């Protein structure tokens, strides 16, 4: 019976980023968008331009560089401003490139890794929402307002985090994020 199942469902090798994205402490819609980001599968203007759908490939937010995954989620000044504010709340310095991989390479507790991962996934999700908001409404929220939105999204999730076994040091750190 098991061999039939494996024959029907061709087993694929695990991808190196599965632990970064499919984390039980993250919000599902954040995981879904981040799955697209890691695979560089979002329909950004660089892809739309290459398909002949968009008249140009310039970023909707900056208007100065091609709208690619690297530009929007790593190099774009708006994203970096939000990330800098998030770093202050998390009491840590986050790397600018491949941040989800970098988090999992740190010698932190599992709790700190999962919380930081969830917060960064929320950041990327909200940047994606802001990009779409500019496309539809021609409006962009200030970085400090975006950070408040991220924290409000994650505040409810933090109740789930608190129910899990964690050290008092990690619990204190999580509470300090939301104060």
Window from 31-35, 49-53, 77-81, 160-164 with minimum mean pLDDT: 160-164
User: Is this model's pTM higher than 0.85 or not?
Assistant: yes
Evaluate whether residue 140 is within a structural domain.
Answer: yes
Evaluate whether residue 15 is within a structural domain.
Answer: no
Q: How far apart are CA 63 and CA 66, in angstroms?
A: 8
Query: Cβ–Cβ contacts within 10 Å for residue 132, how many?
Result: 11
Contacts of 103 (CB under 8 A, 6+ apart): 20, 94, 113, 116, 117, 120
Q: What is the extent of the structural domain holding 149?
A: 25-177
What is the structure's pLDDT at 2? 66
What is the structure's pLDDT at 129? 95
Q: How far apart are CA 83 and CA 124, in angstroms?
A: 10
- Domain count of the chain? 1
Phi and psi, residue 100, nearest 5°:
-65, -40
Mean confidence (pLDDT) of the chain: 87
Identify which has the larger pLDDT, 5 or 103.
103
Evaluate whether residue 4 is within a structural domain.
Answer: no
Residue 34 has pLDDT above 90, yes or no: yes
What is the structure's pLDDT at 7? 67
Phi and psi, residue 135, nearest 5°:
-60, -40
Evaluate whether residue 2 is within a structural domain.
Answer: no
What is the mean predicted confidence (pLDDT) over 117-122?
Answer: 92
What is the mean predicted confidence (pLDDT) over 119-146?
Answer: 94
Q: How far apart are CA 121 and CA 32, in angstroms?
A: 10
Residue 179 has pLDDT above 90, yes or no: no
Using an 8 Å Cβ cutoff, are 156 and 70 in contact?
A: no
Evaluate whether residue 89 is within a structural domain.
Answer: yes
Evaluate whether residue 132 is within a structural domain.
Answer: yes
Evaluate whether residue 170 is within a structural domain.
Answer: yes
- Provide, for the chain, the percentages of residues in helix, strand and coil under a 3-state DSSP scheme, each rounded to the nearest 5: 65, 0, 35
Evaluate whether residue 49 is within a structural domain.
Answer: yes
């Amino acid at each position: 019976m098991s061999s039939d199942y494996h024959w029907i469902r061709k087993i694929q090798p695990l991808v190196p980023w599965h632990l970064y994205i499919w984390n039980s402490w993250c919000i599902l819609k954040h995981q879904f968008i981040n799955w697209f980001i890691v695979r560089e599968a979002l329909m950004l203007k660089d892809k739309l331009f290459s398909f002949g759908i968009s008249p140009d490939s310039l970023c909707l937010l900056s208007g100065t560089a091609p709208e690619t995954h690297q530009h929007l989620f790593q190099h774009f000044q708006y994203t970096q401003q939000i990330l800098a504010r998030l770093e202050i709340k998390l009491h840590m310095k986050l790397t600018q490139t491949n941040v989800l991989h970098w988090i999992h390479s740190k010698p932190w507790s599992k709790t700190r890794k999962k919380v930081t991962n969830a917060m960064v996934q929320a950041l990327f999700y909200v940047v994606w929402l802001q990009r779409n908001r500019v496309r539809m409404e021609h409006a962009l929220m200030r970085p400090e307002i975006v950070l408040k939105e991220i924290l409000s999204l994650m505040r409810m999730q933090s109740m789930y985090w608190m129910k899990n076994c964690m050290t008092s040091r990690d619990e204190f750190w999580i509470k300090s994020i939301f104060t």
